[in-house]
């Protein structure tokens, strides 16, 4: 069965479960809210629903019930590669089913039709000052696509219907995930390669095409596949996914919603951390290792300098995870099995930081999770392959994150989730409740 038919069947099968939960069990209490959660970023409050992925604090992410190794193992691989295509992962995220090779081939073919980006999008990005951050360019590029939103067109047609609305979100979502790598490659070439643009390769899958569009080597094709899949989804509460969900809940179309999500991803406590990690590591090399090899003692000193200056150690800590992020581990394993990379001085330094930072953060005593997250390991791989413009790294994250965010809002509409509108209270109210105990 084709992707859309499979998805339709899944959504229709799922709807009665959601309806029953609301109608028969709507008042069952699943959490309570404390004052520190209210002030402290709603941490851990259970109030979002998604079946696309689940983040266990100890185990890390599961996509559609599968761990990262299980996901890579289960999905059909790109030709001649150990990694699945992004297209097969898109099918999997949307439907929860591992596609057959024939189903993957169908998605790959459809992806190619959808990935054509209108010229006005490139014009809008080109009109920005060249020294704009590439995340601004990406957000503008996605927002520019809004003009042709099929969901917005459906809403304005006067025939809007809640039961079929998801089909138009699906159309936009699919267009968006197919186009965002092309827009990202355009931004890369515009900003760092003197606007020498490389064409789409119509014979290539998403990962291979992205590698070719940014002038990368064959090996990088797997880096792109791995990177986009690993960064795709981290359940619903993180800033980029939650923002996308929130904005779409007002029936803003997927372009408005994901442009907003990208603006959240651009924060240093979220997706920008990958560029901050490289910045920190390279500055460490320049400051401490001009004439000497890095040592654990030097790394320890640099970490304390950062903490004593009131800054966070980028790439370490997490709001939910309490162990090393399996996305970190997966990328580290890629480094260890890649001959040149495993001996690369920067990778060795990142490995040394991994051995040192958790102990320092534990001694510092603030971070609830002293272990590395996805961003601590991702930049060194890009650096090794010559993609050294680290302000671009969050754009790569944004290309991957689109897969999860778009799968999520397609299901949001399929299940008819309501506009999000939590209730706020005032400080005197909190003080009164505090006194009352």
Indicate which residues carry an active-site annotation.
270, 318, 375
Q: Which is nearer to ligand AMX, 238 or 330 (CB)?
A: 238
The structure tokens 């990368």 sit at 216
The structure tokens 């951050």 sit at 133
**Site of interaction with ligand AMX (CB under 6 A):** 238, 269-271, 273, 307, 312-319, 366-369, 373-375
Q: Which is nearer to ligand AMX, 53 or 95 (CB)?
A: 53
Q: What whole-number distance in Å separates Cα of residue 348 and Cα of residue 325? A: 19
Q: Which is nearer to ligand AMX, 56 or 105 (CB)?
A: 56
Cβ proximity of 225 and 78 under 8 Å: yes
Q: Which is nearer to ligand AMX, 68 or 367 (CB)?
A: 367
Give helix 296-308 / helix 273-288 axis angle, nearest 10°. 120
Nearest-CB residue for ligand AMX: 317
CB 394, min distance to ligand AMX, A: 9
Q: What whole-number distance in Å separates Cα of residue 236 and Cα of residue 63? A: 12
Q: Which is nearer to ligand AMX, 125 or 319 (CB)?
A: 319
CB 318, min distance to ligand AMX, A: 5
CB 425, min distance to ligand AMX, A: 21
| Residue 278 main-chain phi, psi, to 5 deg | -65, -40
CB 370, min distance to ligand AMX, A: 8
DSSP letter string, 261-304: HHHHHTSTTTTTHHHHHHHHHHHHHHHH-SSS---HHHHHHHHH
Q: What whole-number distance in Å separates Cα of residue 18 and Cα of residue 401? A: 26
Q: Which is nearer to ligand AMX, 7 or 313 (CB)?
A: 313
Helical (H) or strand (E) element with 63: strand 60-63
CB 107, min distance to ligand AMX, A: 27
CB 117, min distance to ligand AMX, A: 26
DSSP 8-state code for residue 345 = H
**How would you class 323 by CB atoms within 10 Å of its CB: exposed for 0-12, middle for 13-18, buried for 19 or more?**
middle
Q: Which is nearer to ligand AMX, 216 or 274 (CB)?
A: 274
Cβ proximity of 231 and 86 under 8 Å: no
Helix then strand then coil, in percent of the chain rounded to 5, is 60, 5, 35
CB 238, min distance to ligand AMX, A: 6
Which of left, alpha, beta for 148 (phi over 0: left; psi -120 to 50: alpha)?
alpha
CB 265, min distance to ligand AMX, A: 8
Cβ proximity of 314 and 276 under 8 Å: yes
The answer for residues whose C-beta is within 8 angstroms of residue 207's C-beta and 6 or more apart is 78, 83, 85, 86, 221, 222, 224, 225, 228
**How would you class 345 by CB atoms within 10 Å of its CB: exposed for 0-12, middle for 13-18, buried for 19 or more?**
exposed
Q: Which is nearer to ligand AMX, 94 or 262 (CB)?
A: 262
The CB density around residue 325, as the number of other CB atoms within 10 Å, is 26
Query: Both tokens of residue 51?
Result: 């079946």
């Amino acid at each position: 069965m084709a992707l859309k038919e499979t998805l339709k069947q899944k959504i229709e099968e799922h709807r009665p479960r959601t309806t029953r939960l609301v109608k028969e069990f709507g008042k069952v209490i699943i959490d309570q809210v404390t004052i520190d959660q209210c002030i402290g970023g709603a941490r851990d409050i259970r109030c979002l629903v998604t079946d696309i992925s689940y983040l266990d604090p100890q185990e890390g992410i599961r996509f559609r019930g599968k761990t990262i190794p299980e996901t890579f193992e289960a999905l059909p691989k790109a030709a001649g590669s150990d990694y699945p295509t992004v297209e097969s992962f898109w099918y999997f995220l949307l439907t929860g089913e591992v596609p057959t090779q024939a189903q993957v081939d169908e998605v790959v073919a459809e992806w190619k039709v959808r990935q054509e980006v209108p010229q006005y999008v490139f014009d809008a990005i080109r009109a920005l000052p060249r020294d704009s951050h590439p995340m601004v360019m990406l957000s503008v590029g996605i927002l520019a696509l809004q003009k042709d939103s099929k969901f917005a067109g459906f809403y304005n047609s006067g025939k809007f219907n809640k039961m079929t609305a998801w089909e138009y979100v699906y159309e936009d979502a699919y267009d968006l995930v197919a186009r965002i790598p092309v827009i990202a490659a355009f931004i890369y070439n515009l900003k760092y390669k003197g606007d020498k643009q490389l064409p789409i390769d119509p014979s290539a899958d998403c990962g291979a095409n992205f590698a070719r569009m940014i002038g990368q080597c064959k090996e990088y094709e797997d880096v792109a596949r791995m990177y986009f899949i690993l960064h795709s989804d981290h359940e619903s509460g993180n800033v980029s996914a939650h923002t996308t969900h929130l904005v779409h809940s007002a029936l803003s179309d997927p372009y408005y919603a994901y442009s907003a999500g990208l603006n959240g991803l651009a924060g240093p406590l979220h997706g920008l951390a990958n560029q901050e990690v490289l910045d920190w590591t390279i500055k460490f090399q320049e400051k401490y290792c001009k004439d000497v090899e890095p040592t654990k003692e030097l790394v320890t000193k640099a970490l304390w300098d950062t903490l004593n200056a009131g800054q966070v150690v980028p790439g370490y800590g997490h709001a939910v995870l309490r162990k090393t992020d399996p996305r970190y581990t997966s990328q580290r394993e890629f480094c260890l099995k890649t001959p040149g990379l495993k001996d690369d001085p920067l990778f060795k330094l990142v490995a040394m930081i991994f051995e040192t930072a958790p102990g320092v953060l534990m001694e510092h005593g603030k971070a609830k999770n002293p272990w590395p997250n996805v961003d601590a390991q991702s930049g060194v791989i890009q650096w090794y392959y010559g993609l050294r413009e680290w302000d671009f790294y969050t754009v790569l994250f944004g290309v991957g994150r689109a897969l999860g965010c778009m799968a999520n809002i397609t299901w949001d509409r399929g299940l008819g989730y309501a506009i999000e509108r939590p209730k706020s209270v005032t400080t005197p109210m909190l003080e009164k409740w505090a006194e009352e105990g």
